[in-house]
Structure 1
Amino acid sequence: MTNVAQGRGRRRVVNTVKDAIRGLRTDLALLNRRISGRLDLRDGDLDLLELIARLGPLGPSALARHAGLHPATMTGVLDRLEKGGWLTRERDPQDRRSVTLRIRRERVGEIFTLYSGMNQALDDICAGYTDEELLVIADFLSRAATAGQKETKSLER
């Protein structure tokens, strides 16, 4: 096989991976939208709750930075999520201006229940791979996520 043919074959494989990622992104966005609707949440609310769960507890300004939202927009979103019982704002007793956001753990089960089918499907898919293969997949996904974070930051301005 010539180098040109090998190059074309590699490009096809890489494009297949990129196409699969785009399809996965779309399918997961649709799943998230459906779950958000079941929970009476707006688009993006699940992402914010995930950021708080993963990075938190944290303050509203830090959450706005991580989410790429304007602080004034964040205030309205947080008001709605707090009113819906999804999070709490805890004031620092030493500095009443300082607020920490926390997920209300008693509501997390509702989210897990709706994602249980997807979690089971992922368990079933993972069962078809060796531990070594799963480590390669996890490394790829982690590196792809890091690249996405880098590109997101490059577009902040």
Structure 2
Amino acid sequence: MGSALSRTKARAALLGELEEAMRRSSAQGVLYGQAVANVAGIANSDLECMDILYLEGRVAAGRLAEVTGLTTGAITGVVDRLEKAGLVRRERDETDRRKVFIAVVPETAMKIGQLYVPMQQAMEKVFSNYSDEELRLLLRFANEGYKSILAATTTLKGLIDTPPEKRPALKLKLTKRPRQT
């Protein structure tokens, strides 16, 4: 019995460490992206939209709004700014001229991509310490984690359409931190 309890506690501690490490990594990724956006002279949210465009390929503005959760009006502003910066272009559909797609300008995107080289090199160094089997496990973890976070995001976004009085209460207890001397 004591052995099962100690395994449960050990697993809980391991899961806590893993969650903390993932949160640190996620936060650092956001901060790195912010630094890239600052160097590129664009907003971090615009950079994230550009990354989604890069991953999705040429898409309609409505699809970009759907994927990001932004309104179509907000997406118009993002696309306007990215187009002005030379990072994306609007392209008319060949068969239906009323349809407009947003596409990344590869030459300009490559310039921003160069800002990610130090991070990519650092990660390649980390990955070089893992076997192919371990990399497949990490890939499975990343893909399953992405799907889980996507589902959780969809659930959270559902609260936006819920009137504030019907939303679950957030129990935040804000306290002042003691001043560091």
Same fold (TM over 0.5): yes
Determine the structure 2 residue equivalent to 1:45: 46
Determine the structure 2 residue equivalent to 1:69: 70
Which secondary structure state, in structure 1, belongs to the residue aligned with residue 115 of structure 2? helix
- 1:78 deviates by 0.7
Counterpart CA distance in 2 for 1:29 and 1:81 is 19
For residues 82-109 of structure 1, the C-alpha deviation after alignment (integer angstroms, 9 at most, x for no partner) is 1110101011244332101110001122
Letter in 1 for 2:96: D
Letter in 2 for 1:151: A
Which secondary structure state, in structure 2, belongs to the residue aligned with residue 44 of structure 1? helix
Determine the structure 1 residue equivalent to 2:100: 99
Q: What CA RMSD, in Å, does the superposition of the two structures yield over aligned residues? A: 1.1
Name the % identity. 27
Counterpart CA distance in 2 for 1:103 and 1:111 is 12
Counterpart CA distance in 1 for 2:113 and 2:71 is 29
- 1:17 deviates by 0.8
For residues 17-58 of structure 1, the C-alpha deviation after alignment (integer angstroms, 9 at most, x for no partner) is 111110001101000000000001102112111111111211
- 1:141 deviates by 1.3
- 1:14 deviates by 0.8
Counterpart CA distance in 2 for 1:72 and 1:97 is 18
- 1:139 deviates by 1.0
Counterpart CA distance in 2 for 1:43 and 1:119 is 19
Which secondary structure state, in structure 2, belongs to the residue aligned with residue 2 of structure 1? helix
Say whether 1:14 aligns with 2:15: yes
Single out whichever of 92-101 and 64-73 deviates more from structure 2: 92-101
Letter in 2 for 1:150: A
Say whether 1:152 aligns with 2:158: no
Structure 1 consecutive aligned stretches of length 4 or more whose deviation exceeds 6 Å: none
Letter in 1 for 2:106: R
Q: Following superposition of structure 1 onto structure 2, how do residues 81-96 of structure 1 map, counting pairs within 5 Å?
A: 81-96=82-97
Letter in 2 for 1:137: L
Letter in 2 for 1:128: N
Counterpart CA distance in 1 for 2:38 and 2:20 is 27
Q: Which has the larger radius of gyration?
A: 2
Determine the structure 2 residue equivalent to 1:54: 55
Unaligned residue ranges in structure 2 (runs of 5+): 159-181
Single out whichever of 86-95 and 123-132 deviates more from structure 2: 86-95
Counterpart CA distance in 2 for 1:77 and 1:109 is 19
Counterpart CA distance in 2 for 1:92 and 1:53 is 18
Which secondary structure state, in structure 1, belongs to the residue aligned with residue 91 of structure 2? strand
Single out whichever of 116-125 and 46-55 deviates more from structure 2: 46-55
Aligned length: 157
Determine the structure 2 residue equivalent to 1:142: 143
